[in-house]
Amino acid sequence: MIADLPGTTTKDVSKQLVRLRDETGTMTLGRVMTLIIVVDEADADDALECAIHASRQHPSRIIALVTGSARGASRLDAQVRLGNDAGGSEIIVLRLFGELTKHGASVVTPLLAADTPVVAWWPNVAQDVASSPIGRLASRRITDASLTKSPRKALQRRRDDYAGGDTDMAWSRTTRWRGLLATALDLPPYEPVTEVTVTGASDSASTDLLAGWLAVRLKCPVRRAQSKPGTGLVNVRMERKSGSIELVRPDRRTGTLTQPGQPERQLDLTRPGTAESLAEELNRLGEDVVYKEALVKGLPRVTDVPARRKKVTS
């Protein structure tokens, strides 16, 4: 069920939410969090679809804070969705106009679900999220450095401004890789890794974070090599005395894991979509210490492999 409320107030939105609950018989029990989506109009629909998909695993109150034009009079247009139109959640879409675009946190605060953690997600490019009014409301803040013009510089800013509860979707995209590499090291021979080379696209934030994680966990030299932009995470090679462990994904879909004394394995390493990455990030509502270590401690330990210069022929 969907109810549109043009030119409304947060008080009227709350009343409408209660009214729709009574009509549909929807209970508020089981809401595990409030998810605030900070988004512009162009990306609002796609972001909501991803949040609805993720909420089937994490029933939530989803509040989409959509920023409209800052010109003209202040106005709040709202939409409330329940039942089949909201997946496993309650959805409130708030479109802000005029001076109200500067006061999103004040608008959203009366609508937060009581006694639940607050998670904020910026589907677009975002900066200084922890210190923003919405960021200060949230115990967990989700961004995506991969969307920026320079993901590596974005990660540097995230590292410099890190606050407990920050996370990034580029990190969740490394989960499958981290699991496979850790499992490979749990098999004999149990030897220390002496050196690691992580190869990925020059615009792959996931490659940088994976390299940072390996630097912290293995406490050995980690080198970061670059492949062509758009190729994503391509290869991890871990050197040991008995031979190397190598996980290669040349096509962004299928990976191959090889290591001494073990059969070669073909693995699905398809890049997870936004909805899948969001659902994984929502599994944790507190600080992700492992991500913090990879970002804050690991990245500075990674050494870049100089790019090969093209030969100039005369």
Mean pLDDT for all residues in the chain? 92
pLDDT tens track for 247-276:
999 999 999 999 998 999 999 999 999 999
79-106 average pLDDT score: 90
Q: Give the range among 217-221, 225-229, 308-312 with minimum mean pLDDT.
A: 308-312
> What's the confidence (pLDDT) of residue 83?
74
45-57 average pLDDT score: 91
pLDDT-derived band of residue 94, with 50, 70 and 90 as boundaries?
A: very high
- Checking if the pLDDT of 8 tops 50, the result is yes
> What's the confidence (pLDDT) of residue 84?
73
CA distances from 101 to 30, 35, 73, 143, 222 (A): 31, 19, 11, 20, 45
pLDDT tens track for 151-178:
999 999 999 999 999 999 999 999 999 9
181-207 average pLDDT score: 95
Residue pair 307/199 in contact (Cβ under 8 Å)? The answer is no
- Helix (H) / strand (E) element for 21: namely helix 10-24
> What's the confidence (pLDDT) of residue 133?
96
